[in-house]
Chains A and B, each alone.
Chain A
Amino acid sequence: MFKRSALMYQYDKTFNGFLCCIYSCCRLHEIPSGFCGNEDSLFEKREICTNHKVVTEMRHILRSRLGSNGFSLLSNAFLYGEAHKETDLLMFTLFALHTGPSAVFMRGHPLVARVCDMERGVLNEAHHFLGFIRFTDYGYALSAIIEPKHFVLPKIRTHFCDRFSGETFLIFDKTHKAALLHHSNILRIVPLDAFSPAQPDDAELLFRSLFQRYHTAVSIPERKNERCQNTNLPKRFRGQMTEFSFHPSTTSLSELSVHLLEKEQSS
């Protein structure tokens, strides 16, 4: 029987750290009042250290007890960008450990439904970003900035590494202060406090302008439907999208294209 504790669990905010928290809950038969990272708090805290041995053991137990579907549900839902997600995830895990692999399919159960909703939020946003990310081309590398609600980098990395397998690129997650780095088959997600991209060159400005022109030209004025556009492409995504946020400078676009053509011919 688990008892409610007044303590908060302090951990490193990683999935492995959270697995150690679950381990601690099961060992001490307690449910903490909440979870926190390194931030200051007036609550009494229990510090949970991430232990590699415990992590391996917990992964093995959860995979066998929750099934592969259950484990992937838990790991995906952990990427949900809400401050108090851990308590919901912990309650679901305890329920699933008790029930077995069938717990994942009991979607009518409030605990399972909540975690399924969290996973759906993460996967939907990750799918949006497959299309809505805009890269800046510096010739030798590509870079992009995103501002997602949830931590979607682990869910989009396979897609972009597969798509641009020969490219060097960086995707900076401004919300979670992390970056996905890819260079000749080496892939890392690293913490990064800030990233200020270099000034785009002439070719980049040209293609930005061209795409903006294309975006305007392809819509049919007689069918204008702002509501539909807002539903499909919420405004929170538009901050980093070329077609909505790029404003060409006073230099005439035609001059720019002529200049580039001349440069290309001379080279």
Chain B
Amino acid sequence: MDIFEKLTILTDAAKYDVACTSSGVDRGGAPGTIGNAAACGICHSFSADGRCISLLKVLFTNACVYDCKYCLNRRSNDVRRAAFTPRELADLTIAFYRRNYIEGLFLSSGVFKNPDYTCEQLIETLSILRNEYRFRGYIHVKAIPGADTRLIDQLGLLADRMSVNIELPTSEGLQKLAPDKTRQAILKPMGLIHNRIQENNYDLVQYRHAPKFAPAGHSTQMIIGATNDSDLHILRLTQALYHKYALKRVFFSAYIPMQSHALLPSLDTKPPLLREHRLYQADWLLRFYGFHAEEILDDEHPDFNPILDPKCNWAVNHLDQFPVEVNRAPYEILLRVPGIGVKSARRIITARKNGSLDFGDLKRIGVVLKRAQFFLTCRGKQMPHLKFSTDTIIHALSGQSLSPANSDTAQLSLFSESSPTKEDVQKCLSGQL
């Protein structure tokens, strides 16, 4: 099998992995080496589905001993199998990197033979890159659940970021769809990586040149829509993962039906892309906007509003906390205004130190007022000519045009809400009204 076929098969098998960022570590180049890493991450291209291509995202092999129902690479599925050799993959990575096609390598693998053997192959690939080619670019590697802790440790010392897929939001779902995996077997390496990162932080304080263990932290991903879990449950789990394991990211992957099975959604089910999008929006609120999962959703409303994004939905349900005064509101409150993000809030804080702001200033600063206008006052005044009602807010926030029938901004009328009667018209024409 030539390299073209291998690359096609193993890319095709890896494309459903969503954790493909190259962020989290700032590492300069050095003489005699190749590569560096930028903390902000760099996108090198965008594929036809609009997703960023930053890393060479491939599986080491798509042969697997497990039989997870949702997975294309499960052992009972009749697909073509392929495997790179460590040298082949390292050479390919360097060739792509020199041409600036990629920012580094994202390496995952099916479990062939056993977890330890798979892990050893990954370690060999990364060793060639790091020690032979002296590659200082970004490497993201999947920890193989069930592998020996010493092997996971070696892997972490060679990679920038590690991840363990939590696969499904509940252990019941896991039991049903991935009978060979257990929640404990998944959380164990995650806990191990977390502890090792903590230890490494202490080591680095004592010895500046101590080898770094996964300096860009660790992440996980879960499949959305393969089981019947509520958004609230997923969001609570996400929040708990951030707190307990100090994860850098939790990724969500909308389930795409590719095989027919009694336990899985039918093949004509569309991937829940909007739900995935709402979860990412909520994830941002948890990480950067100071929200808690319980503020975004509750037991009465366990699923996201399909029309409004989570932040707008929260604001519409808490109109008593608005409007806020741009020139006085603290940073944390500004962040809660729909339409104002981290950048805009920082710009407002900087700009208002040198004079009070009005709506014209906000526009020039770069604050998008389409949504924020309903929730802000400048110098105690609301936006001029603002039509303020729950209906107009919801329609403006959802980006839908307001139909005249539902509009509060209809033409003023002398008549009652129902259409004028014949008598009304006669009175109007005769001047009695």
Contact = CB atoms under 8 A, between A and B. Distances in A.
B350 A163 contact: no
Contacts of B51: 219-220, 223
Contacts of A167: 34, 98
B137 to A, nearest CB: 8
A134 B102 CA distance: 10
Contacts of B365: 107-108, 113
B353 interface: yes
Contact of B50 (A132, A134, A209, A225): A225
Given A105-B354, A108-B357, A233 B46 contact: yes
Summarize B's interface: helix, strand, loop or mixed: loop
Contacts of A50: none
A211 B271 CA distance: 28
A254 B2 contact: yes
A61 interface: no
B33 A207 contact: no
A220 B15 contact: yes
B42 A131 contact: yes
A228 interface: yes
Given A105-B351, A207-B95, A220-B16, A227 B50 contact: yes
B45 A243 contact: yes
A36 to B, nearest CB: 29
A232 B50 contact: yes
B351 A133 contact: no
A223 B45 contact: no
Contacts of A257: 2-4
Interface in A174-231: 207, 209-211, 213-229, 231
B50 A220 contact: no
B4 A253 contact: yes
Interface size class of chain B, counting residues whose CB lies under 8 Å from the partner chain:
35 or more
A215 B54 CA distance: 11
Contacts of A117: 366
Contact of A229 (B14, B47, B56, B357): B47
A91 to B, nearest CB: 15
A94 interface: no
Contact of A211 (B101, B364, B366): B101
A21 to B, nearest CB: 26
Given A217-B12, A223-B271, A106 B50 contact: no
B33 A165 contact: yes
Nearest to B47: A219
Given A163-B35, A223-B271, A217 B50 contact: no
B201 to A, nearest CB: 26
A24 B357 CA distance: 35
A242 interface: yes
Contacts of A242: 99, 101
A144 interface: yes
Contacts of B332: none
Interface stretch (B24-32, B185-193, B333-341, B414-422): B24-32
A164 B28 CA distance: 11
A162 B28 contact: yes
Q: Which of A110, A136, A207, A231 counts the most B-chain CB atoms under 10 A from its CB?
A: A207
Contact of A107 (B3, B7, B364): B364
A138 to B, nearest CB: 11
Contact of B100 (A133, A214, A223, A228): A133
A102 B15 contact: no
B431 interface: no
A223 B364 contact: no
Contacts of B3: 210, 257
Interface string B80-97: 000000000000100110
B78 interface: no
A137 interface: yes
Interface in A113-129: 113, 117, 127
Interface string B174-215: 000000000000000000000000000000000000000000
A95 B369 CA distance: 28
Nearest to A244: B45
B362 interface: yes
A213 B4 contact: yes
Contacts of B29: 162-165
Given A108-B364, A164-B34, A222 B271 contact: yes
Nearest to A112: B364
Contacts of B47: 215, 218-219, 229
A239 interface: no
A166 interface: yes
Contacts of A6: none
B159 interface: no
A108 B361 contact: yes
Contacts of B2: 254, 257-258
B283 interface: no
| Ranked 5 nearest A-B pairs via Cβ | A228-B50, A108-B361, A219-B47, A113-B364, A225-B50
16 contacts: A110-B364, A131-B42, A131-B54, A134-B99, A134-B100, A134-B101, A166-B32, A210-B92, A211-B101, A218-B14, A219-B47, A220-B49, A228-B50, A254-B2, A257-B2, A257-B4
Interface of A: 102, 105-110, 113, 117, 127, 130-137, 142, 144, 159, 162-167, 207, 209-211, 213-229, 231-233, 241-243, 253-254, 257-258
Given A228-B50, A229-B46, A243-B45, 9 more contacts: A105-B354, A106-B355, A107-B361, A108-B362, A135-B98, A159-B38, A210-B3, A228-B46, A228-B49
Interface of B: 2-4, 7-8, 11-12, 14-16, 28-36, 38, 42-54, 56-57, 92, 95-96, 98-101, 103, 254, 256, 271, 273, 347, 350-351, 353-355, 357-358, 360-362, 364-366
